[in-house]
Structure formats: structure tokens, C-alpha cells
Structure 1
């Protein structure tokens, strides 16, 4: 049995954070400098009282309005988020009720970040191929902005909030994108490179303080911390090998891939990966200039935008790859039927 990625819709919060806004708070970072370093000009930011479940509901409302998918046919719900509404219960269970889905469905949260979309559609495919489900609603929803310290100019420039809804099913419809074989990777030794340290069971009673070095904000354990150099080194090392492994797993050459849609970390990092793999510019997608790094939603948003502007023919292939927090990575190929 095959599994197909049929449809994608997404939601972006109304509030935005532009490079001009960041420059106003951090005059040492000009609009041009931010754009040159990240390739990002604007980000969408969730309202103070808007959380992952709210964005997921908004994205799902758009999804059901845009497609002819019947809610009654959904038999499994996967929510990928690292900013759940509560420590427990799973936010997916809350979404089942808020979306008016059947009570006879499975609902789980996947705590995964930048590789989360890959992992989630991999789980969805497994459910379908094993006969446990026929139509799996995969939602990615993240509000990293709520983890970012107000003095952290580096992470401010990168991350935006968003939610995306994708349908993975046993039927070939919509995009008609057959999901091929997956490759995965994990290197937990680098977990501290991208982390919100306080708030879980290990450090739930801790209270973080801003650490300042020579007048510059470094980190606060209550907030998102990223060692940019370490994450870049990890990405530069594993992603080219990930691509090669995915090609081998799917018995393809790199020339057989028509488009490469990778996690939209930042333009500098993606340009380095593209150059290392010698991928032609016209085959490589960068889609985050006006939305920022939306973590697990970057790939589905990029795919939806790509399908909106390009007509794909039967047999064409897209490689999608995610990598980051964990540290984790994964890739697969989509074949247009």
C-alpha cells in the first residue's frame, strides 16, 4: 500500500516583526545586516494570548475550507509541536475536540522541531501502510517566539510562528505526491546546542537570569538558546550525507530530483548546503524571506507555495529534508503521480 501527501494549508499570525522593528530595538543590527545574514526580512508572531492549539485550529479551518476533505473521514491526528499548550494532556487530544473530529480516532503529539514534518509524515505513512489508518491529519504548529528573550537579537532575527495542516492518505489526490522511503538520523550528544533548559521535569523549579557578556545578551535558561556555530557545523556535516543516503535509499541520482525543499533555517546555511551538494539554484527552494524560520512548518509551507506556482508532471520528484533541534535529521522523496 502507498501513502500520499494530498493537500497542505497554513496559517500565519497577523502580528509581524520586521527587520526595521529589530533595528529599532537593537540599533547595532541594521536592516541590511539582518537581511544579509539570514535572508529574512519579516516574521509573523503569535499574539500574547495565541498559542499552538489556536494556530492549529486556524490552519485547520483554512484547510477544510480550501479542500473537499470531510472531517468525518479523518481517522488519525498527529500534532508536531515543541510549544504545547500544557505539560499534559497532549494538545492533539484538545484539537480533536476543538476541530470537531470523530472520537474514534488516534491523536498524538510529536515533540520534534526542525525535522518534525519529516518525522510526522513518516509516522503517518507507517500508520497507512500498516492498515491502522486511511487519512491522517498532520499538523505542525510552533510558537518559538514565546521562548525568545526580549534581549536576544540573534534568535529574534530568525524565528517566526506558523501552523500548517497536511493530509497524508492512502488515496492519490490533491498534489498526488507519493511518499517514498525515509532516512533518519539522531545525534543527541548535541542536544544543548538548541535548547530551552528550564521548564521540564529536570529543571522545572529553576529560575533563569540574563547572562550578559561585554554588554551583549548571551542566554537565559528560561528562554531559547542556540549555539549558532555548533548548529551550523552539525548541519554542514550531516545534511550532505543525509541527501546522499536518501538518494541511495530511493535508488536515485541527484540529477533525478527536480526540486529540493529543505528546512528553511536561514539563507546563509542553505546556500552553503546547496553549494556543497552542487545543486543548481533553480532547483533549490528558499521560501522564508517574509515568514522566517517557522521550525516544523517551514517545509509544508514551502511545499504549498511551490505547488501554487508550479505545475508538476507525473514522475517528477521532490526531495524534502529537515534538520536541527535534537539534534535530529531526516529526509524523503515525493514522486508526483
Structure 2
């Protein structure tokens, strides 16, 4: 009994935020530096009345054009932009898509490592005989958490949703996974107010950080240097552990698809791991950092241009908010 990724689709909102747009808002900053160092040119921003669920529905509907929705028997919905505190957004997604009522549906709250977690959970559901066709959805609207004057984070994050079908297969197309958690770093990337610990504060003070960036505790805060230090300290060794777990090496894996955090960070890790540039996916220009969506978007794009004379082994690694990280091996033999 095995499982494999059958297909992936993604959806970006219609509104674009280009570096030239940000330059109008922040005329004292040279955004060519952002594009050169971080690698981002365009982000997609959800409308005021458009939620992560709305994006998720559109991504899933694209995928359903080439997959029988009646065969889906479980939904895994990864988001940190839920529709409500309760109920579970996955339940609403089941109804919006017109799926069978005889299915399981759950949300899980993870960011940049979320897709990797989701693939592993889908494999577990299938290999244990609890499901045959899992719809894994990621959806985020981080733009709604960003302060208007937070130049740095507005230059990084964009909104998106993805949908992936993971199905039963006689051959195993999903390998072994490893995970990591360091909750001591929970405040390195956080929206402090608005949930149970601290209520939303209409009079929250503006806070300045970095180079003329502004936020409040109602908004997203990211300690960029600390997140970079965590990634640098943990992810290269962790990647080698995932390779060892799957009895693979840097040379035997065809492509590496990491969370698309920013170009500088990815280049840094690639060099530390001594991975050839051609084998290491790096494409943030169109979309930016879309949190849990970056890996499936990258997999979709990468899969369109591969030679499938032989199946391709891909190592996927996610890391970020939590602090949380995860990695595993997948094998594909066709365009996703």
C-alpha cells in the first residue's frame, strides 16, 4: 500500500503589488535592492472582502476540473488565516465545493512548514486505510495582518491558495518525513493580539523596528535576523538528516524544493549544503513568500519542465513560524 501526489493547482488574487507600487508609497527606499537580494518583484493581495477560504475554493475548483471530486474522502486544510475561530474552515470548504458528506475534514494551524506536514498526514491517512483520496489545501492572506507602514514585510509576503490531491497507489511515491519544533521562538514571527491571550486593541501603540518599519501588536511582527539565524543553524543539518532517513544523498536527489522564504536565505543554504544550482528550486519573483503555499506552487511550476524518462526524486523542506520545520522525500513521474 502506498500513496502519491496526483496533481496540484494554485490561485493568486487579482490585485498585484509590484515593487514600483511600493516605491510610490515609500519614495525614500530603493526597491531594486529588494528585488536583487530577496528576489521578489510581484505579490498578489486579496481584496478587502476576499478571505483565504475564497482563494482556497478557487484553487480547489481548478484542480477539480481534472479530478473527480466525488472520490475525495478527506480534507486537510492548512491555514493561519481561518474563516472563524470556530467552526473548522475545512467543514465550510466541504460544503462550498459540494463534496460528499461522508468524508473527514480538519484544519491545522501551521505556516511555512505546513505543506510538508500535510503531505505526511495524507500519507498516514492513506497508508493506514482511513482514506484513498486526500484533498490537501493551503491558503493564506497574510497581507491582512500587515501594517500599512511595515515596508519590510509588505515587500516579502503575498497571498495565495493551493490544492493538492494525494491518492492511494500500489507503489509508494511519498517517502519518510522528519519534523522539528522550538516553541521558545514563538514570538519571532507572531500576530500578538486578537486571539485568546491578548484581545484586539483598537488603541494599540505603533511600534518602530528595523529601518523605519512600523507595526502594532494587532499586526504581524517578524524578527528577520532571528528567523535567519534559526534557519541557518537548523535547516542544513536537518536536511542532511532527512536525506539519511530516506537513504539518499545530495547527489541522488533530483531536485530540492525548500520553502520560498527569500532568495538570499535560499542561496545561503544551498551553498552550505553544496547543492548544484540547477537542482535547487528558487523562484520568488512572481508571488513572493506565500507561507504554506510556496512549496506546492514551486512543485507545480517545477514539474512542468522535467524530463520524466525516469521518476524524479524531490526533497521538500519547510521552516518558519512556530518555530517549526519539516522535511521529506516525494517521487513524481508526471506533470502535477
> Structure 2 length normalisation: TM-score?
0.96
Report the equivalent of 2:26. 26
Aligned equivalent of 1:186, options 181, 184, 187: 181
- Per-residue deviation, 1:205: 4.8
Report the equivalent of 1:13. 13
**Alignment of structure 1 residues 146-185 onto 2, 5 Å:** 146-171=144-169, 178-185=173-180
Q: SS of the counterpart of 2:99? A: coil
Cα distance between partner residues in 2 of 1:98 and 1:54: 9
- Per-residue deviation, 1:149: 0.4
Instruction: Indicate whether 1:281 and 2:277 are aligned.
Output: yes
- Per-residue deviation, 1:36: 1.9
Report the equivalent of 1:250. 246
- Per-residue deviation, 1:212: 3.0
Structure 1 range deviating more: 304-313 or 233-242: 304-313
Cα distance between partner residues in 2 of 1:35 and 1:122: 33
Unaligned 5+ segments in structure 1 are none
Report the equivalent of 1:107. 105
Instruction: Indicate whether 1:42 and 2:57 are aligned.
Output: no
Aligned equivalent of 2:72, options 65, 70, 74: 74
Cα distance between partner residues in 1 of 2:224 and 2:209: 17
- Per-residue deviation, 1:61: 1.1
RMSD: 1.5
- Per-residue deviation, 1:206: 3.8
- Per-residue deviation, 1:287: 1.8
Aligned equivalent of 2:129, options 103, 128, 131: 131
- Per-residue deviation, 1:154: 0.4
- Per-residue deviation, 1:218: 4.0
Cα distance between partner residues in 2 of 1:335 and 1:150: 42
8 Å CA contact 1:22, 1:29 repeated in 2: no
Structure 1 range deviating more: 105-114 or 309-318: 309-318
Cα distance between partner residues in 1 of 2:300 and 2:312: 16
Unaligned 5+ segments in structure 2 are none
> Structure 1 length normalisation: TM-score?
0.95
- Per-residue deviation, 1:215: 8.4
Cα distance between partner residues in 1 of 2:271 and 2:308: 25
User: What number of residue pairs does the alignment pair up?
Assistant: 332
8 Å CA contact 2:4, 2:331 repeated in 1: no
